[in-house]
Chain A
Amino acid sequence: DSGVTQTPKHLITATGQRVTLRCSPRSGDLSVYWYQQSLDQGLQFLIQYYNGEERAKGNILERFSAQQFPDLHSELNLSSLELGDSALYFCASSVDRAGPEETQYFGPGTRLLVL
């Protein structure tokens, strides 16, 4: 158990809908990262938040957005869903201090299926 929790574990929805994925980082971790994993694209970095502020952006679509709240949990919002958005969405967290503690710890993922 990495200490990172994600809800829900599975999500089935229809095209055009909007969903929210939730992530709680490990206790003490300030950074949260979101990744999308699909069969054809591999593991894609979406976005990183550090202590409530956006720090880095990867291949995140404009239909997707995220935020990190004062209690450090994060939500990833996916809107106008398309079939191609079906994937595993992982959250990871880290202390975000250079040195031996800079490891990212991954949650179990949310499997999204868009029908």
Chain B
Amino acid sequence: GNSVTQMEGPVTLSEEAFLTINCTYTATGYPSLFWYVQYPGEGLQLLLKATKADDKGSNKGFEATYRKETTSFHLEKGSVQVSDSAVYFCALSVRTGNQFYFGTGTSLTVIP
């Protein structure tokens, strides 16, 4: 079947620290992979995506590389800011029917 596993939170970092949020997946076929971010009181927003193996998605200083050999799509940022405090969801999409599968979300708090 299709599923996404994210590292458990919550994660608390100091400003300018390095961030890694782990995400692994199982999928039938060749999925597309996504990171969504949910700021407090808001809906989910697409942060970045990658549609094939070895693709790197990037946005707002965040990066994630689609690793087929390790079935992973870890989210990284070199220097986090207080404004990055949010919940981050890893997700995959299978092409048949365009169904999405979301991880449980990882809460990030960045302290000044």
- Cβ-defined contact, A103 with B49, below 8 A: yes
Is A100's beta carbon under 8 Å from chain B? yes
Are A105 and B105 CB-contacts (below 8 A) given A43-B89, A48-B97, A48-B99?
no
Q: How far is the CB of A28 from chain B (nearest CB, A)?
A: 14
B43 touches A108 (CB 8 A): yes
Q: Does B28 touch A at the CB level, under 8 Å?
A: no
**Stretch among A65-73, A77-85, A90-98 lining the B interface:** A90-98
- Taken together as a complex, chains A and B put the C-alpha atoms of A107 and B44 apart, in Å, by 8
Which residue of chain A has the shortest Cβ distance to B99 in the bound complex? A56
Contact A106 B95 (CB under 8 A): no
Taken together as a complex, chains A and B put the C-alpha atoms of A100 and B49 apart, in Å, by: 9
What are the interface flags for B21-62 relative to A under an 8 Å C-beta threshold, 1 for contact and 0 otherwise? 000000000001010100000111110010100000000000
Q: Is B20 an interface residue (CB 8 A)?
A: no
Q: A103-B34, A103-B49 are in contact. Are A45 and B100 (CB under 8 A)?
A: yes
Please determine whether B98 and A43 come into contact, CB atoms closer than 8 angstroms: no
**Which residue of chain A is the closest to B34 with respect to CB atoms?**
A103
Cβ-closest 9 pairs across A and B? A106-B43, A106-B44, A98-B95, A42-B104, A96-B98, A108-B43, A43-B102, A109-B43, A56-B99
Residues of A within 8 A of B (CB): 2, 4, 31, 33, 42-43, 45, 48, 50, 55-56, 90, 92, 94, 96-100, 102-109
A-B CB contact pairs (8 Å), 23 listed: A2-B43, A4-B43, A33-B100, A42-B105, A43-B44, A43-B102, A43-B105, A48-B97, A50-B97, A55-B97, A90-B44, A92-B44, A92-B100, A97-B98, A99-B51, A102-B51, A103-B34, A104-B93, A106-B36, A106-B44, A106-B45, A107-B43, A108-B43
